[in-house]
């Protein structure tokens, strides 16, 4: 990035105007899953070093951005109230607004956009919701503001906002290392997924602080190892010994996570049950979507207070949200 401006691919520094008279730009903010998560060290500045395989599911929030004379954000959807309460309690600004201002500053322009976030994913749930929302906002605003930065430049701009931002910007399966900035594209087989959250928010920073024991050794998983995996059952066998280093701290903080994991593990056709990220969302891996949907119906009938979402892996680039 030079002279405080975002440079485009073959178009020089881009500071062109906002698209006018068009429909809102809509972007899907996909749920991010840590299929395994190892904490392998900590830098002097306090950031933890990670080794993880991330995937993205076909459930998502939605960001819509349209022209305006100022920057604003409105939140709607089933988890809008939970998000606003969490931000108010913590005294924080929504990450979407911070991302918008950072992008505008880098592009040398005013942050002018009316942004609407439809919050369909649980809050503080270990599925990258806030980071996914901010990443979707960056993608949408690049279109709205006619910016075309190289991918690496946008990733560098996003990283200071949070370790999940680079992966959420790409929004495709990847092996993650460093503090989240080192990404290697990975291939995953078709599989059914069932996401279940018991309705308890979990603060990521608190889970890293509560983690005990020595740091883990990186798993050594390579993209070539995953390219050879042909189905969900084989993927489950690779993931089974790798685990989630934050699971113990999360289950101590929210014992209901253990109940979710036990119920997922017991349901028919579940190949693997695991906590995603810092929690409290757990996922079950299934041979196909039909098996995941059958399991979802059974669990939802028993636990009306749990968020239950059958879905699947997505591997292609983020779609425009419908």
Annotated catalytic residue within 51, 61, 164, 245 = 164
Q: Report d(CA 238, CA 64) in Å as an integer.
A: 38
Annotated catalytic residue within 32, 61, 119, 245 = 32
Does the active-site annotation cover 164?
A: yes
List the one residue out of 191, 205, 198, 202 whose CA is nearest residue 234: 191
* Cβ atoms of residues 6 and 14 within 8 Å: yes
In 3-state terms the chain splits into helix, strand, coil percentages (rounded to 5) of 35, 25, 40
Token pair in block for residue 153 = 């430049």
Does the active-site annotation cover 133?
A: no
Q: Which DSSP category does 91 fall into? A: T
The residue assigned the tokens 């419908």 is 322
Separation of first and last alpha carbons in the chain: 33
* Cβ atoms of residues 75 and 84 within 8 Å: yes
Cα separations in angstroms, 143 against 14, 33, 107, 111: 12, 26, 13, 14
- Active site (catalytic) residues: 32, 164
């Amino acid at each position: 990035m030079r002279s405080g401006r975002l440079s485009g691919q073959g178009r020089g520094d881009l500071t062109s105007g906002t698209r006018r008279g068009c429909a809102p730009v809509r972007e899907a903010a996909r749920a991010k899953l840590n299929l395994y998560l190892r904490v392998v060290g900590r830098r002097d500045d306090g950031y933890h070093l990670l080794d993880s395989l991330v995937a993205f599911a076909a459930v998502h929030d939605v960001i819509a951005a349209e022209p305006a004379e100022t920057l604003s954000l409105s939140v709607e959807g089933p988890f809008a109230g939970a998000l606003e309460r969490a931000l108010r309690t913590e005294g924080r600004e929504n990450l979407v607004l911070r991302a918008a201002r950072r992008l505008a500053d880098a592009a040398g322009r005013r942050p002018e956009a009316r942004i609407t976030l439809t919050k369909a994913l649980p809050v503080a749930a270990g599925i990258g919701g806030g980071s996914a929302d901010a990443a979707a906002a960056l993608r949408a605003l690049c279109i709205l503001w006619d910016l075309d930065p190289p991918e690496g430049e946008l990733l560098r701009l996003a990283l200071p906002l949070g370790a999940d931002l680079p992966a959420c910007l790409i929004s495709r399966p990847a092996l993650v290392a460093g503090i989240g900035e080192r990404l290697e594209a990975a291939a995953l087989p078709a599989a059914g997924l069932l996401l279940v959250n018991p309705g308890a928010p979990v603060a990521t920073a608190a889970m890293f602080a509560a983690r005990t024991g020595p740091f883990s050794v990186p798993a050594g998983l390579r993209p070539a190892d995953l390219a050879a995996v042909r189905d969900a059952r084989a993927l489950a066998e690779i993931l089974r010994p790798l685990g989630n280093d934050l699971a113990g701290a999360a289950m101590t903080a929210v014992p209901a996570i253990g109940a979710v994991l036990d119920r997922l593990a017991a349901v028919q056709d579940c190949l693997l049950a695991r906590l995603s990220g810092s929690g409290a969302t757990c996922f079950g891996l299934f041979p196909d979507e039909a098996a995941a949907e059958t399991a979802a119906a059974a669990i939802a009938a028993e636990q009306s207070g749990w968020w239950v979402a059958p879905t699947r892996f997505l591997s292609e680039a983020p779609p425009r949200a419908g």
